[in-house]
Structure 1
Amino acid sequence: MFLKMRKLLFLSLASLVLTSCSEYQKVLKNEDVKAKYEMAEKFYDEGDFKRANRLFEQIAPKYIGKPQGERVMFFFADSYFQKKDYYLAGYQFERFIKSYPKSDKAQQASFLGAKSSYMLSPRYSLDQTDTDKALSKLQTFINTYPNSEYLAEANIMAKELTTKKEKKALEIAKQFDKIGAWDYQRLISAIAAFDNFVTDFPGSVYREDALYYKFEASTNLALNSTPNKKKERLQNAKAAYLNLKKYFPNTQFEKKAEDLNEKLEKELQDYSK
C-alpha cells in the first residue's frame, strides 16, 4: 500500500511538472504580453528565477513607459542576480536606477548593483579592475544612503575589498624584495614599494608586515652596498628598525628583526671606530 501511494505521488508530481513546462513553453512562444507578465511573476515568487528571467527578458521592452515598467525592470534585474549572473545583474540594476531614480526600489537596486560588482571581484593575485569598480559602487552607495538597512553589509564588503587590494600591493612589494636576494638593486624598488604601501594604506592590517619587510630589505641593501654608500644605508636600515619597534614593540617578527638588528649594530660599530 505504501509503495503504491509513493508511486501515485510521484506520478502526480511528474504530471504537475510536465503541465507546468507545457504551460511555460506555450506562454513563452505566444504574443500575449499580459500572460507572460503573470507567469513571470509567478515563477519569480516561486523562486524559479531562470524561467522568470527569460519571460521578463521578453516583456521588459514592452513595458517601457508603462506603470508596470518599474516593477518589471526591477524583477528582471533581480532575477539575474538571483541566478548568479552578476555581470548582467549589475548592468540591469544600473539601467533601473537611471530609468527610475526616485523609485522606492532605487536604494535596494543600488545596493544589489554594488553587490553584483563585489561578487565579480577576483582573488587578490589577479587583476583588480573589477575590485576597483566594486569599491567605487559600494562607496557611492554608502555616501548616498548613510542610513540604509544595507549599510552594515556594504561596509563589510568594502572593507574586504580594500583588504584584498592591500594584500595585492603588499605581495607586489614582497616580490621586489625576493628578487633582491640576487639582484640587490631591486631592493631599492622594494623599499620604495613598502614606503608607498604604508602611505597609501595607513590603517592596513598589513602595516606591520610592510614595516618589517622594509626593514629587512633596507638591511640587506645596506650590508651588500659599496663602501661609499654603506654608512648612509646602514643608518637608513637602523631608522627602519626603530620605526617598526615604535609602532609594533611586540612585533610578530621579533626574532628575525633582532637578528638583523644585531648585524646592523656590528656594522655600525665598525664604522664608528
Structure 2
Amino acid sequence: MSQQKFRVYLYLSIVVGTSILFFGCSSTKQHDVKSAEETFNEAMELFKDEDYLEAEKLFELIRLQYSASQFADDAQFYLAESNFKRREFIYAAYNYNMLRKIYPHSEYTKKSLFQSGMCYYKLSPAYDRDQDYTVKAIQSFSEFQTIYPDDSLYVQATGIIRELRDKLAHREYFTAELYRKMFSPESAIIYYDSVINDYPDTEYYEPAIYGKIEVLIELKKNDEAKSLIDLYKKLFPGSSNLDKVKNLDQVLK
C-alpha cells in the first residue's frame, strides 16, 4: 500500500470511527433521557397512589443515575416529599436542603425552604427536651419570610414561629421555676431574664417578670424589685396578678 493510500485509509478510519462514537453517544443519551422520563413517570404514579416507599426508590434512582437529566430536580423534590409523607422528617429535611443547594434556580426552591421548616417543626419536641430542631424551624421560617415576604405562606410561617417561640420561652420559664424549687434564686433570675429579654412577645413574659419580682424580694434586692414592680404595673394593668404585685409593693414600703 502506497503512503498516499495509507493516509487516505487512516483519514477515513478516523472519520468513520468518530462518527460511530458520536452517534453511539447520541443514541445512549437519548436512551438515558427516555429512561429517566419513564422512570420519573412511574415514580410519580406510585407517589399519586401513595406508595411512597416504592416511589422513594425510583426518585433516588433518578437522582443518582440521571443527575444531569431534566428530571433531576423533580426527583430530588419528590424524594423529599415522599420522605415527608412517610414521616421521615430528618431525611426529608436533608433532601429539601440538598435541592436548594444543588438546584438553587429550581422551581421547587421556595417550597423546599418552607417544607424544610415544616420538617423541623414536626421534629420539635416537648418544651422540656432539647430544642435544637425548634431553633432550626424558626430559622427556616424566618429565612422564608425574608426571601418571600409577599408569599401566601408568610402568615402561616408567622403563626408557627410564634408557637415555637412560646415553646422556647416555656422552657426557660420552666427552668427558672425549677431553680426556685431547688432553692437557687440567683440561677432562677438568669432564666427569668432570658424570658424577659429574649421572648417579650410570648405568654411567659408576664409571669417571668412576676416571678423575678418575688425572687428579688427573697434576695432582699428591694430597689430592683420596686423598679420591676413599677414596670409591671405599667405593662399589665389588667393582669390577674396585679393585686398580688400591689401587695408586694406595700411590703417594700
Q: Note if 1:210 corresponds to 2:208.
A: yes
Report the secondary structure of 1:138's partner residue.
helix
CA distance in 2, matches of 1:100, 1:215: 53
Q: Note if 1:187 corresponds to 2:179.
A: no
Q: For 1:63, which of 63, 66, 78 is the aligned residue? A: 66
CA distance in 1, matches of 2:124, 2:166: 12
Query: Where do residues 1-273 of structure 1 align in structure 2 (5 Å cutoff)?
Result: 36-180=39-183, 186-222=184-220, 233-265=221-253
Q: Report if the CA contact (8 A) 1:93-1:112 is conserved.
A: yes
CA distance in 2, matches of 1:191, 1:80: 43
CA distance in 2, matches of 1:61, 1:147: 35
Render the CA deviation track for 1:33-65: whole Å, top value 9, x for unaligned.
665433211111222222211222233211201
Pairwise CA distance, 1:118: 1.4
Query: Could you say which structure has the larger radius of gyration?
Result: 2
CA distance in 1, matches of 2:246, 2:123: 43
Q: Report if the CA contact (8 A) 1:211-1:243 is conserved.
A: no
Match in the other structure for 2:15 = none
Report the secondary structure of 2:105's partner residue.
coil
One-letter code aligned to 1:52: A
Report the secondary structure of 2:238's partner residue.
coil
Q: Report if the CA contact (8 A) 1:63-1:72 is conserved.
A: no
CA distance in 1, matches of 2:112, 2:42: 23
CA distance in 2, matches of 1:196, 1:79: 39
Report the secondary structure of 1:139's partner residue.
helix
Report the secondary structure of 1:134's partner residue.
helix
5+ residue gaps, structure 2, are: 1-34
CA distance in 2, matches of 1:249, 1:149: 36
Q: Report if the CA contact (8 A) 2:43-2:58 is conserved.
A: yes
Q: Report if the CA contact (8 A) 2:172-2:194 is conserved.
A: no
Report the secondary structure of 2:119's partner residue.
helix
Render the CA deviation track for 1:100-133: whole Å, top value 9, x for unaligned.
1111121111111121111111111101111111
CA distance in 2, matches of 1:255, 1:74: 56
CA distance in 1, matches of 2:124, 2:191: 24
Report the secondary structure of 1:40's partner residue.
helix
5+ residue gaps, structure 1, are: 1-31, 181-185, 223-232, 266-273
CA distance in 1, matches of 2:212, 2:153: 39
Pairwise CA distance, 1:255: 4.4
In the TM superposition, structure 1's runs of 4+ consecutive aligned residues that sit over 6 Å from their partners are: none
Render the CA deviation track for 1:186-206: whole Å, top value 9, x for unaligned.
223323432342122232322
Report the secondary structure of 2:219's partner residue.
helix
Q: Report if the CA contact (8 A) 1:173-1:190 is conserved.
A: yes
Identity of aligned residues (%): 27
CA distance in 2, matches of 1:100, 1:196: 39
CA distance in 2, matches of 1:33, 1:246: 66
One-letter code aligned to 1:144: I
- The alignment's TM-score, normalised by the length of structure 2, stands at 0.79
Farther-moved stretch of structure 1 (78-87 vs 40-49):
40-49
What is the number of equivalent residue pairs in this alignment?
219
